Amino acid sequence: MIDERFAKGVSWIHQLDPRLKVIITVLMAVVIATGNNLVMLTQALILALLLLLSAGLDFRLVLKRILIINFFIFFIWFMLPFTYGGTTLFQLGPLTASREGVFYALRITLRSNAVMLIIITLIATSTISALMHALRYLYLPEKLVYLLFLIYRYLHVLGREFKKLNNSILLRGFKSRTGIHSYKTYAYLIGMLFIKSYERSQRVYEAMLCRGFKGKFYIMDDFAVSFYDYIFLITGLLAVAWFILLEKGVVF
């Protein structure tokens, strides 16, 4: 299911403290997502690409992820230039493409790709468990973090149970068709999955009670901030500051 494929790697980005990666990612994402300055957005995308290159991730995998969001952006390019209004850029039959519309679509493209790439390079390069710990250290509410983590942890188990059930209906000659029999079978399958996950949650809770659970979770991992982490943090903050300056028009 979620295989954390990007998290397996040895680049300098993989070795950074996940807390700092989360902080820098959040700051960058906010600035880029709210920014409108084309120069800033282009530079952000270039920075994202540079980070991606130095993380040494499997390029085809990254491309696959990027294609998914660009699929939606593709349609924006069909709609926005012709509906936005403003100075005419060119005409296509009865349709008028506006300069402002094209820039708007361009901004959306740069923005979403830059943010997506930064998240892939900075966040997806840490394991989920490391990220959970990072979020706890950053004072995100304990309940939220554990909710997230338990969802992730048991998604695997649930996925396996779904596969088991699905295999068993396939092995007994089930073919998916349009018809009441197929719908009913799928409804049973999903119903069964609900019951199983409910029962699983009961057992997990019981197991926790048996080990003296009193409503408090503990984390044991210690993160150590190294020299390189400081360099990353400072460079990251400088980049964020530079983007804000560009956005506000203070430079250029």
Count of residues in contact with other proteins, rule CB under 8 A: 27
Q: Does 224 bind other proteins (CB under 8 A)?
A: no
Binding residues among 64-103 for other proteins as defined by CB under 8 A: none
Interface pick for other proteins out of 139, 172, 216, 224 (rule CB under 8 A): 216
* Alpha-carbon span 252 to 39, nearest angstrom: 9
> Based on CB atoms, which residue is closest to other proteins, 154 or 186?
154
Pick the closer one to other proteins by CB: 172 or 211. Answer: 211
If binding is defined by CB under 8 A, does position 133 make contact with other proteins? yes
Q: Does residue 220 interact with other proteins by CB under 8 A? A: yes
Question: Considering the rule CB under 8 A, would residue 204 count as an interface residue with other proteins?
Answer: yes
| Binding status of residue 214 toward other proteins by CB under 8 A | yes
The window from 9-17, 76-84, 124-132, 183-191 that contacts other proteins (CB under 8 A) reads: 124-132
Is 196 a binder of other proteins (CB under 8 A)? Answer: no
- Exactly one of 151, 192, 206, 251 binds other proteins (CB under 8 A); that residue is 206
Task: Tell me if 153 contacts other proteins by CB under 8 A.
Answer: yes
Positions that interact with other proteins (CB under 8 A): 127-129, 132-133, 149-150, 153, 156-157, 200, 203-204, 206-214, 216, 218-221
